[in-house]
């Protein structure tokens, strides 16, 4: 792992760390710090989850504590082992390790059932047969209190019998629920006798067909935290109103540990969506090419596009940890990425839209072996070889017959320097029958290899590759998936704002020979073009595929100096 990929800690000034420092000073939790990252295995992790991963693992590391990985697998209808495996791989890729502390909420299903029995015995839970619609009506509104279920005062014995029969599979799905007995008049809707268990006959990826009742998240999460001796349960702000229920459940039960729930603002980025439901919809409707499509904000997609773990962790540090929701400019994420890639990516030349150039004043078979640096600021990256010969390729965009104002590249009769090579002059323009430029005839100034031309100044520099020795590659140019800065916060359907130009595939591109043996996920700066990554899925030695990671321009950095 490179220095930029090393695990970074969270910002030393965030309020969660201040709370933990005070806890340690007061010897709370006997001086221990233990956190957890609790993903639902119902989709792939996205950049929003990266903030929580960095916060939970980083906070534990900061205080020499531990961080558990625990899958919140209480809804088998939407869960899959594919998601479990992808989540684990993404966390490891980010640079974090849960060691032997891999848990599942389903590990505790037996204990959770027993705690449900305990709540019934204490008169704190009851079995209810209200349908979902009836329960919604009884629940009340934000301005009107709820009404007690007609079955709220069942006897403990009857509740125990019904709960046991629920577990035994005696009832149809939805026939009964187990509800907490709290307060139907509470101003907090979460405290109005919330459901703890529901009947659902579903095959579970961990427990098989053992269970036909499954616990709800709010009931499961706090107990799982307590059973694992978590000290600080870090959640996003939408769980703030759930904290009284978190505490209530633990206060009723005979569990020694009572973790502290602390809420922080989730990560929101413009020009994207962060809802797993919507991301799954994009996948299911084939609006993208899978969860790992490089246009997706999933960690798998970002990895495939060429993002580095270090750039994502550094971005999460830059965003910080606050109690206020806000939207982060995607330019900040791209700035962090460029900053990392600039330091770690070797340079190479690749011509995306090749234009043939024949050098008229050198002989057939002419070859100059040139040595170029792999990185201008890091000699340890070494050098690369490239041959200059009679026929080369430059990019079509680097030639104009009628140049626009300020154009500093090749024009008829004009000169330009080839990167790390000679100055060439355009002597003749060859066109096809349709009038398209297909070839340039140029001459070199033999005295300009590693030297400035005498008596004149050549302003432009273009990249190039040798025709014979270059490698044919496919280039995939990626742009933002959405062309609206808030696609899911508008009156229309977020899918209406999918950018039709978010992917352009270029074939017949030509890359310098040093890229012939590039490996999947290797990253390069293609000079004058941007940063590119070898596609980890579709690239082969016979057909190399490079994904555009990010362009060279960093407008966010300029705006925030």
**432 and 537 inside one domain:** no
Least confident of 73-77, 89-93, 492-496: 492-496
Whether 396 and 319 share a structural domain: no
Least confident segment among 38-42, 322-326, 410-414: 322-326
- Residue 63 located in a structural domain: no
Q: What is the pLDDT of residue 554?
A: 84
Q: Is residue 412 part of a domain?
A: yes
Query: Is residue 147 domain-shared with residue 199, that is, in the same domain?
Result: yes
Say if 235 falls within a structural domain.
no
383 and 478 in a common domain: no
Q: In this structure, which long-range contacts are made by residues 238-244, counting pairs with CB atoms below 8 Å and at least 24 apart in sequence?
A: 238/266, 239/263, 241/188, 241/189, 241/190, 242/190, 242/218, 244/188, 244/190, 244/191
Q: Which of 434, 463, 492 is the last residue of a domain?
A: 463
Task: Tell me: do 160 and 199 sit in the same domain.
Answer: yes
Percent of the chain at pLDDT > 70 equals: 97
Pairwise CA distance, residues 292 & 533, whole Å: 14
Question: For a pLDDT cut of 90, what percent of the chain falls above it?
Answer: 93
* In the predicted structure, residue 1 carries a pLDDT above the cut 70: no
Tell whether 341 and 483 lie within a shared domain: yes
Catalogue the active-site residues.
40, 266, 276
Whether 186 maps to a domain, the answer reads yes
pLDDT computed for residue 13 by the predictor: 63
Q: Is there a single domain that holds both residue 383 and residue 330?
A: no
The predicted model scores a pTM of 0.92
Residue 108 has phi, psi (to 5 degrees) of -110, 10
Residue of 506, 502, 500, 498 whose CA lies nearest to 478 = 502
Please identify which residue in the block is written with the tokens 């100096």.
561
Q: Examine residue 84 and state whether it is found in any structural domain, yes or no.
A: no
Query: How crowded is residue 402: how many other Cβ atoms within 10 Å of its Cβ?
Result: 7
Q: Give residue-wise pLDDT tens across range 101-150.
A: 999 999 999 999 999 999 999 999 999 999 999 999 999 999 999 999 99
Q: Please check the confidence at residue 25 and state whether its pLDDT lies above 50.
A: yes
pLDDT 10s digits, 302-314: 999 999 999 999 9
Total count of domains within the chain: 3
- Domain end point (choices 443, 463, 483): 463
| 496/528 same-domain check | yes
543 lies in a domain? yes
What is the predicted pLDDT for the residue at 559? 73
The domain of 380 spans 350-463
* Domain presence at residue 100: no
Local confidence band at 2 (pLDDT 50, 70, 90 cut-offs): very low
Picking from 355, 509, 508, 362, the residue whose alpha carbon sits closest to that of residue 421 is 362
Check residue 3 and give its pLDDT. 40
116 shares its domain with 211: yes
* Interatomic CA distance for residues 200 and 209, integer angstroms: 11
Q: By C-alpha distance, which of 198, 73, 80 is closest to 132?
A: 198
CB 444 within 8 A of CB 361: yes
Three-state DSSP class for 20? Answer: helix
Of the residues 217, 249, 284, which one is the last residue of a structural domain? 217
For residues 340 and 380, membership in a common domain is answered with no
Q: Are residues 202 and 272 in the same domain?
A: no
Q: How confident is the model at residue 5 (pLDDT cuts 50, 70, 90)?
A: very low
> What tens digit of pLDDT does each residue of 408-426 get?
999 999 999 999 999 999 9
Pairing of strands 545-550, 471-478: parallel
Instruction: State the CATH number of the domain containing residue 363.
Output: 2.40.240.10
Query: Which domain CATH number covers 174?
Result: 3.90.800.10
């Amino acid at each position: 792992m490179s220095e930029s990929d090393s695990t970074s800690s969270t910002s030393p000034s965030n309020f969660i760390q201040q709370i933990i420092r005070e806890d340690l000073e007061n010897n709370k939790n006997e001086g221990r710090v233990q956190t957890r990252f609790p993903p639902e295995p119902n989709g792939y992790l996205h950049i929003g989850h990266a903030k929580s991963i960095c916060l939970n693992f980083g906070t534990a590391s900061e205080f020499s504590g531990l961080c558990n990985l625990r899958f919140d697998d209480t809804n088998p209808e939407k869960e899959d082992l594919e998601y479990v495996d992808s989540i684990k791989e993404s966390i490891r890729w980010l640079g974090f390790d849960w060691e032997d502390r891999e848990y599942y909420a389903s590990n505790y299903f037996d204990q959770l059932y027993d705690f449900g029995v305990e709540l019934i015995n204490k008169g704190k839970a009851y079995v209810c047969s209200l349908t979902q619609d009836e329960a919604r009506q009884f629940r009340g509104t934000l301005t009107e209190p709820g009404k007690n279920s007609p079955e709220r005062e069942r006897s403990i014995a009857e509740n125990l019998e019904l709960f046991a029969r629920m577990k035994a599979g005696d009832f149809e799905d939805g026939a009964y629920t187990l509800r907490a007995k709290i307060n139907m008049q509470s101003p907090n809707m979460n405290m109005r006798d919330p459901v703890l268990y529901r009947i659902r006959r579903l095959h579970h990826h961990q427990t098989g067909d053992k269970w036909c009742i499954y616990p709800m998240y709010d009931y499961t999460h706090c107990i799982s935290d307590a059973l694992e001796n978590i000290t600080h349960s870090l959640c996003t702000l939408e769980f703030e109103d759930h904290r009284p229920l978190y505490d209530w459940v633990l206060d009723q039960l005979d569990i020694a540990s009572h973790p502290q729930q602390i809420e922080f603002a989730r990560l929101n980025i413009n020009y994207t969506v962060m809802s797993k439901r919507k991301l799954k919809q994009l996948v299911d409707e084939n609006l993208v090419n899978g969860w790992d499509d490089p246009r997706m904000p999933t960690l798998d997609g970002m990895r495939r596009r060429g993002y580095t773990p270090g750039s994502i962790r550094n971005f999460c540090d830059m965003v910080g940890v606050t109690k206020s929701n806000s939207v982060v400019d995607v330019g900040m994420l791209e700035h962090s990425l460029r900053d990392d890639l600039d330091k770690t990516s070797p340079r190479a030349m690749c011509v995306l839209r090749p234009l043939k150039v024949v050098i008229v004043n050198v002989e057939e078979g002419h070859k100059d072996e040139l040595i170029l640096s792999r990185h201008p600021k890091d000699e340890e990256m070494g050098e690369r070889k490239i041959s200059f010969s009679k026929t080369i390729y430059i990019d079509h965009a680097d030639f104009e017959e009628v140049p626009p104002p300020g154009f500093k590249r090749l024009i008829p009769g004009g000169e330009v320097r080839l990167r790390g090579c000679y100055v060439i002059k355009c002597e003749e323009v060859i066109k096809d029958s349709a009038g398209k430029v297909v070839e340039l005839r140029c001459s070199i100034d033999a005295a300009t290899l590693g030297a400035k031309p005498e008596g004149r100044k050549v302003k432009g520099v273009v990249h190039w590759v040798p025709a014979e020795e270059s490698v044919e590659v496919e280039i995939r140019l990626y742009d933002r998936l959405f062309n609206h800065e808030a696609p899911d916060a508008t009156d229309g359907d977020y899918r209406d704002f999918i950018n039709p130009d978010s992917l352009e595939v270029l074939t017949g591109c030509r890359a310098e020979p040093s890229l012939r043996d590039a490996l999947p996920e290797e990253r390069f700066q293609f000079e004058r073009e941007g940063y590119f990554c070898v596609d980890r899925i579709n690239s082969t030695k016979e057909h190399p595929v490079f994904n555009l990671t990010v362009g060279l321009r960093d407008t966010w950095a300029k705006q925030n100096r």
